[in-house]
Amino acid sequence: MLEKFEIRLKELRLERGMTQAQLANELGLNSVSYLRYEKGQREPSISLLIVFAKYFDVSVDYLIGYRDF
C-alpha cells in the first residue's frame, strides 16, 4: 500500500526546496530515520503519516498513493 509513499514524500520535500536534513529537523525527526522513509526502508506510523500530511497540506490517502489528488 505504501509503494508511492516514498516517491510522494520526496516530491513534496523537493517542491519546498528542502534537503532531507532540513525537513527532518523541521519535523523533529532523526535525519537517518527520515532518509529511510524516503528510501522505502521504513514505514511510518499512522501518527507520523498524519504529521507529514498536515505539514504538506495533503491527505494521508494522497501521501500513501491511495488517491491521486
Q: Which residue do the cell numbers 503519516 mark? A: 49
Distance CA 1, CA 23 (A): 24
Q: What is the pLDDT of residue 50?
A: 98
Please state, in angstroms and rounded to a whole number, the distance separating the CA atoms of residues 62 and 20: 20
> What is the residue extent of each domain of the chain?
5-63
Q: What is the mean pLDDT of residues 14-23?
A: 98
The mean pLDDT value for 34-61 works out to 97
For the stretch 19-32, pLDDT in tens is: 999 999 999 999 99
- Which CATH architecture best describes the domain 5-63? Orthogonal Bundle (1.10)
Cα–Cα distance list, 68 to 4, 5, 31, 63 (Å): 10, 12, 27, 9
pLDDT given at position 2 = 73
pLDDT band at 59 (very low <50, low <70, confident <90, very high): very high
